[in-house]
Structure 1
Amino acid sequence: MATRLAAPAPGWTVEVDAIVVGSGIAGLTAALELRARVPRVLLVTKDRLASGSTVWAQGGIAAALAPEDSPAAHLADTLVAGGGLCDPRAVEVLVTEGPQRVRELVGLGAVFDTSPDGRISLTREGGHHADRIVHAGGDATGAEISRALVAQIEAVRHDPGIEVIEHALVLDVLTGPAGPDGRPGAVCGVTLHVIGEGQRDGVGAALGKAVVLATGGIGQAFRSSTNPPQATGDGIAAALRAGAVLGDVEFVQFHPTVLWLGAGVKGQLALISEAVRGEGAYLLDTDGVRFMLDVHPMAELAPRDVVAHAIVRQLAATGSDHVWLDARHLGGDFLRRRFPTIHERLLEHGIDLTTDLVPVAPAQHYHSGGVVSDLVGRTSVRGLYVVGEVACTGVHGANRLASNSLLEGLVFAHRAARHITDQVAYGTLRHADPVQRAGDEALVAAASRSRVQRAATDGPGVLRSSDGLRRAAGRLADVPTDAHERQDDGRLPAAPQVAEWETTNVHQVASVLTATALAREESRGGHARSDFPDRDDEHWRLRLEARLDPDGRLALARVPLG
């Protein structure tokens, strides 16, 4: 694999203390914390500040706030959902610090739904044994959190201690001289491409003592996903090229209830929140059978992987391409009040949640793996931190518990920012000059995107097999990665530009995902193999880690869990 993207040399340079990439809950939180603690912070976002996956989070944010709930109970539910692969230390941090972090969001201006006594309302979602889901606007929690945090950034936007660059794609993480083992050195900053006019136009280099990647997920590696178009795996691919270790890459969560609009529909699809089933909606097959009652004791509230796999099996049994979500018995007034966003969005497609069955099917939703990090967001590359969905903290294991994602981004962004602050103060993290990494550069033509997505969907999709994964690996290996090099007839297949850089990232992520899914010969959580349908704790209660060796080859390692 390539160790860098094909791109023009940087035409401008800016020097700061810390660089934060991404403007979801994790990136905004990290930037706000760092802005108050180090002299200069640069926040880079691929679109506008108020874009990204956080805005689309309907269900809510999980925290043990009720008197009858506890962090210990939240921890227990998270460990069960994670299929035996969670890091209990990371989960303990999440559930212990989470309630205070959520209360702090209120102090930052987030307005959550409250009960008549003025306390924050709490609901329940799949995999939780207590009401601990905080929501806003019924089903617009992510949008409200994003609004509050963006307002905090806007309030200090003209502060000389922070610079915000919107519409900028980070290309590569810059690193220093390689060590004796041939691996890249410490982080020195990033290269980025800015779409716009003026000093920050084109490709530039931002030099910093620390880089925080908060770039979200990998949804656009698949033909259909609930993720926004920006989710092209940029952070995980850049970290891999910079020498970082990836973990749990094979565990992809497919949301069970995504609006089904026909076999030819692709791109970002409408999610029907877990909270709808949390309030009592049923799943019916096309024969009208409520099939989840025979699948799991929690029926429709079973962990997401259980529900998604059950739906796929039911589709095969009935010869259907969707199942039905039935919420009609919950009452029209309640549904319109509790789920206004979902209700309105369904009406746009001619479906009334209060009177109609809603056609749903699984689609890619969340990536439980990512760049391996410790309890303060540090990766295996000095100065490189990851927070949010791009990170593999060990919180999720094989499968994310519903509504733990916003909480993870919030909690670990705080921790990363404070650790960076200390390391900058101690002089452990300091400016260094970047060097070009050994290895090849790559560019995949944007025209190959659908080819890559088809391979990822057919190979490491909802249900996997050795044959399907090997076919996908072959298809991905056949995708040309030298679109920036002129052919014998003088043609240039593609020039380095945003669509090509994104497609290169999608290709690298899909390739690693396929390799790790093929290597793990068992089924658990978000990884289901039809040829290895059982969970195998004896051989596979471990983390499968991936990194590039000094020659650019992908190397996998089986790392036992502590």
Structure 2
Amino acid sequence: MTDEKPDVLVVGSGIAGCAAALGAAREGADVLVATKATKPEDATSDWAQGGIAVTRDDPASFAADIRAASDGEADPESVDTLVANAREAVDDVLLDTLGVEFDGDGDGYDFGREAAHSARRILHVDASTGRHVLRPFLAHLQAHDRVTVLEDTAALDLITHEGRVHGAYLDRGDGIDGEAAVESVFAGATVLATGGIGACYGRSTNPEGATGDGVAMAALAGAETADMQYVQFHPTAYVGSDGESDEPFLVSEAVRGEGGVLVNADGERFMPGVHPDAELAPRDVVARAVARERERTGEVRLDVSKLDFAAEFPDLAALCADRGVDPAEGIPVAPSEHFLCGGVAVDGRGRTSLDRLFAAGECARTGVHGANRLASTSLLEGLVWGLRAGEAATGHEVERVEAPLPRDSDPALPPSFAETKFRRLQTLMDEYVGLERDSADLQRATAALMRLKGEVDAYTRTRTSRGLYELRNACVTALLVARAASESPSAGCHRLVDGEGDTQEEPRARP
């Protein structure tokens, strides 16, 4: 059992986890960051391309854009919190503390524009903003005298007693002969910042470790979740000329913001007939249109012929070159699971419904995104709520409670058990809980996911394998998504078709 008893335990090392650690440390707390990551690119934040939206001289229009993109489902108070704190958080942390060098245009910052934004307000570094933000952030924390970062460390479960969270069971991954070294780590407060749920789907823009850990652990401990039906699919992920790819990558929305257009297999541009904003319509609108055109004509490509693509997006040009894609011929794209707009329900300070448990970033449902997230607000939300959650999590005494360590009492898992079950999970989610959903299919998915979770639970009762717990977390999260989807009407990225299908989007006017 570890002797570490931090004032604040942060689970996750993306921008939200880093911000929570910084916020708590600035309040004088001793912080322990536990992360599954062994390198920065294991965190979804490192994969972020487009940039980080900021409030310039247009707070009212920024808030209006967020609400419009959300299909009217965003929480007004949460939107106001994000917009009001955006510029201060970016100036304080990213510019003054970390010294991030965002792209300029000679006279200042080169603010970009992306889908559903009415103005140019996005700070960026080429099309790889995430790595230029996260890597200096991690370096800053690793040099901080109040912050300890444990890599290759997974949280398996929360330690709870009478509705209060006292820390977590951590798998340090460094046990004898490769066996799990599971420890009870008690903390004054715990902040979940574990990222997304991409591993629940066969095609995702998330790293492999995005298994919904924070959502699942919080839900199993009794915390409230909300808006789990709102899973956003990004409309332009590279899929290869055959419609599939073992090495997919996100083609930033910034490309469409600078003039890239979508064309079908017949070379026809189709978005102007779908929405007044064409390629710059909200993500859910564009994603469904791309899916329909792929089904109707066989292919959709992102035409970048009017751009100096290599000069404007050198990182994306390099990714294309690595895969033998000539951007001049168009980049083959398809929708891909991208972001969970819901998650563990939190307030404006990241507090969950459980005492001393906080959440921030993609695993948290702040209410900002409603039914669909506005482009380039994920890093911003993680930064703002991470700072606020970290600050609010301080000031609690560490309390040790009875927390017997889980032990392996049975032989090893059957060969390929987790891999086989993960494939089954992804097949169910892709087929029944994807971009468009049918009520009957959602009922089938829920029943199948319950059976799958039961099979997994039979092993987690006696085993502490990290891979097994990740599978359990993915099953729990997928079941939450399917149940919420079956109980909710269409809105934003949750679209019920019930066998009728959609032929035309309803344009969403800006308020």
CA distance in 1, matches of 2:366, 2:360: 8
- Establish whether residue 471 from structure 1 lines up as the match of residue 444 from structure 2: yes
Which residue is equivalent to 1:59?
A: 50
**Partner deviation per Cα, 1:199-252 (whole Å, 9 max, x = no partner):** x97101110110000100000000110000110000000000111000000001
One-letter identity of the residue aligned with 2:293: Q
Q: CA deviation at 1:435?
A: 5.5
CA distance in 2, matches of 1:455, 1:40: 43
Q: 1:410 to 1:480 in 2, by over 3 A?
A: closer
Question: Is the 1:258–1:269 contact (alpha carbons within 8 Å) kept by the matching residues of 2?
Answer: yes
Question: Is the 2:54–2:123 contact (alpha carbons within 8 Å) kept by the matching residues of 1?
Answer: yes
Higher helix share: 2
| Counterpart among 37, 59, 79 of residue 71 in structure 1 | 59
One-letter identity of the residue aligned with 1:373: V
Which residue is equivalent to 1:147?
A: 135
Which residue is equivalent to 1:192?
A: 170
CA distance in 1, matches of 2:403, 2:8: 19
Which residue is equivalent to 2:117?
A: 128
CA distance in 2, matches of 1:469, 1:394: 24
Q: 1:400 to 1:480 in 2, by over 3 A?
A: closer
Which residue is equivalent to 1:549?
A: none
Which residue is equivalent to 1:48?
A: 38
Question: Is the 2:453–2:476 contact (alpha carbons within 8 Å) kept by the matching residues of 1?
Answer: no
CA distance in 1, matches of 2:346, 2:207: 24
- Establish whether residue 164 from structure 1 lines up as the match of residue 142 from structure 2: no
Which residue is equivalent to 2:69?
A: 81
One-letter identity of the residue aligned with 2:25: R
Please give the secondary structure, in 2, of the residue aligned with 1:225.
coil
**Partner deviation per Cα, 1:103-122 (whole Å, 9 max, x = no partner):** 121112211111212x2210
Question: Is the 1:227–1:268 contact (alpha carbons within 8 Å) kept by the matching residues of 2?
Answer: no
- Establish whether residue 323 from structure 1 lines up as the match of residue 300 from structure 2: yes
Q: CA deviation at 1:445?
A: 3.9
- Establish whether residue 346 from structure 1 lines up as the match of residue 320 from structure 2: yes
Please give the secondary structure, in 2, of the residue aligned with 1:328.
coil
One-letter identity of the residue aligned with 1:116: G
Which residue is equivalent to 1:537?
A: none
Which residue is equivalent to 1:545?
A: none
Which residue is equivalent to 2:83?
A: 95
One-letter identity of the residue aligned with 1:498: R
Say what the alpha-carbon RMSD is for the aligned residues: 2.4
Q: 1:289 to 1:32 in 2, by over 3 A?
A: same
Which residue is equivalent to 1:364?
A: 337
One-letter identity of the residue aligned with 1:350: G
Q: Within 5 Å, which residues of 2 pair with 1:155-304? A: 155-156=143-144, 159=145, 161-177=146-162, 185-196=163-174, 202-261=181-240, 265=244, 269-304=248-283
Q: CA deviation at 1:410?
A: 0.5
Question: Is the 1:476–1:511 contact (alpha carbons within 8 Å) kept by the matching residues of 2?
Answer: yes
CA distance in 2, matches of 1:292, 1:45: 41
Question: Is the 1:17–1:38 contact (alpha carbons within 8 Å) kept by the matching residues of 2?
Answer: no
Q: 1:174 to 1:265 in 2, by over 3 A?
A: farther
Q: CA deviation at 1:408?
A: 0.3
Q: Within 5 Å, which residues of 2 pair with 1:537-552? A: none
Which residue is equivalent to 2:506?
A: none
CA distance in 2, matches of 1:481, 1:192: 23
- Establish whether residue 109 from structure 1 lines up as the match of residue 99 from structure 2: yes
- Establish whether residue 393 from structure 1 lines up as the match of residue 393 from structure 2: no
Equivalences, count: 487
Q: 1:13 to 1:469 in 2, by over 3 A?
A: farther
One-letter identity of the residue aligned with 1:528: R
Which residue is equivalent to 1:411?
A: 384
Instruction: Give me the TM-score of the superposition, normalised by structure 2.
Output: 0.90
Question: Is the 2:23–2:388 contact (alpha carbons within 8 Å) kept by the matching residues of 1?
Answer: no
- Determine what percentage of the aligned residue pairs are the same residue: 40
Q: CA deviation at 1:48?
A: 2.5
